[in-house]
Amino acid sequence: MTQPSNAAAVQTLIVYSEEVSEALASAKPVVALESTIITHGMPFPRNVETARQVEADIRAEGAVPATIAIMDGKLHVGLSDADLDRLAQAEDVMKCSRADMTFALATGRFGATTVAATMMAAHLAGVKVFATGGIGGVHKGAEETFDVSADLDELARTPVCVVSAGAKALLDIPKTLEVLETKGVPVIAYGTEELPAFWSRNSGLVAPYSLNSASEIGQLLNMRAKFTDHGGVLIANPVPEADEIPRDEMSGYIDAAIKKAEREKIRGKDVTPFVLGAILELTDGRSLDTNIALVRNNARLAAKIAASLG
């Protein structure tokens, strides 16, 4: 009996929503979305309300949203309203990066995809653009802990355009930028020459490159696609000015949250959600409002980029 190819075998694990399936079949622009913001980013029902708003933002720009998650032993590319509700209210959901995806699939656990896992799934599904909040990167103190996000390796290997507000500002952004350069990942600031810092529009770092329109980004992606051994591209899109928390103010909250994590001996993949939760308390909820604003802003830009690819 002939065994299916790896590609064919993997496709049997993917469940496409009707909307996404129709969009891919007719070559309509599609934007991938991660699911950790739903399960690990905010409480119910605000998580599902935000997820639906982000999907609506993408549709308003003429593209189709494909929220990605692992449910019932399948990799879902695009979630129905019922699926969104199930995921948003599920307990003990795995936070899945590259190392965790197959474990969740094999055991039937619910899994929310991080940047790395969402890139993997998007590439398998033929989706070229992905909108998120901020990527993971090199954690502060990584010279001792070796705590570096798998997102950076995924950007180096997987040809998906990731639209974010830069790396999460609780990270060591200069070291994150250095690692991305070493791995050959183009970092493009959108509409600015300075790299944004997630909640803040400014990081104090000059961006390696800058482009000012979705069509220019689309041209870059089409050119890069001609080289089959190239990986992803990171678009750093500043949070709207009206929604930002200024860098000087934000740095105090971040330092306090990181020190709290150190005191409580938080390690590994638990660091980011713990620190984000501490920052939420310190800012009296402002950080979450900013987070939602920047995700929506990234989704709108991602939809325009996807449409520009032709």
Q: What is the residue-wise DSSP string for the chain?
A: -PPPPHHHHHHTTEEE-HHHHHHHHTT--EEEE-SHHHHTSS-TTHHHHHHHHHHHHHHHTT-EEEEEEEETTEEEES--HHHHHHHHH-SS-EEE-TTTHHHHHHHT--EEE-HHHHHHHHHHHT--EEE-S-B--BPTTHHHH--B-HHHHHHHHS--EEEESSB-TTS-HHHHHHHHHHTT--EEEES-SB--BTTBS--S-B-SEEE-SHHHHHHHHHHHHTSTT---EEEE-PPPGGG---HHHHHHHHHHHHHHHHHTT--GGGHHHHHHHHHHHHTTTHHHHHHHHHHHHHHHHHHHHHHHT-
pLDDT digits (tens, 9 = 90+) for 141-160: 888 888 899 999 999 999 99
| Percentage of residues in the chain having pLDDT higher than 90 | 84
- Locate 194 and state its tokens: 């300075």
Evaluated on CA atoms 9, 150, 230, 19, the torsion sign reads positive
User: Hey, which residues does 68 pair with through a beta bridge?
Assistant: 77
- 37 to each of 133, 211, 294, 295, how far by Cα in Å? 8, 27, 12, 10
pLDDT for residue 270: 81
User: Cα 37 vs. chain centroid, distance in angstroms?
Assistant: 9
Lowest-confidence region among 73-77, 174-178, 231-235, 272-276 = 272-276
Does 39 have pLDDT greater than 50?
Answer: yes
Mean pLDDT, residues 265-273: 81
Evaluated on CA atoms 5, 69, 28, 131, the torsion sign reads negative
> CA torsion angle for 275, 281, 283, 286 (degrees, to 10)?
90
Mean pLDDT, residues 195-217: 96
Nearest to 190 by CA among 220, 170, 169: 220
pLDDT bucket at 5, cuts 50 / 70 / 90:
low
Does 215 have pLDDT greater than 50?
Answer: yes
Mean pLDDT, residues 188-206: 96
> 266 versus 304: which is more confidently predicted?
304
Does 31 have pLDDT greater than 90?
Answer: yes
Lowest-confidence region among 33-47, 48-62, 228-242 = 33-47
pLDDT digits (tens, 9 = 90+) for 61-90: 999 999 999 999 999 999 999 999 999 999
pLDDT for residue 2: 41
pLDDT for residue 241: 96
> Which are the catalytic amino acids?
34, 168
Mean pLDDT, residues 22-32: 97
pLDDT for residue 89: 93
Does 3 have pLDDT greater than 60?
Answer: no
Q: Supply φ then ψ for residue 305, to 5 degrees.
A: -65, -45
| Percentage of residues in the chain having pLDDT higher than 70 | 98
In angstroms, rounded to a whole number, what is the distance separating the alpha carbons of residues 25 and 201? 38
- Please give the model's pTM, rounded to 2 decimal places: 0.94
- Locate 219 and state its tokens: 């041209």
Residues 6+ apart with CB under 8 A from 196: 165, 166, 189, 202, 203, 236, 237, 238, 239
pLDDT digits (tens, 9 = 90+) for 82-118: 999 999 999 999 999 999 999 999 999 999 999 999 9
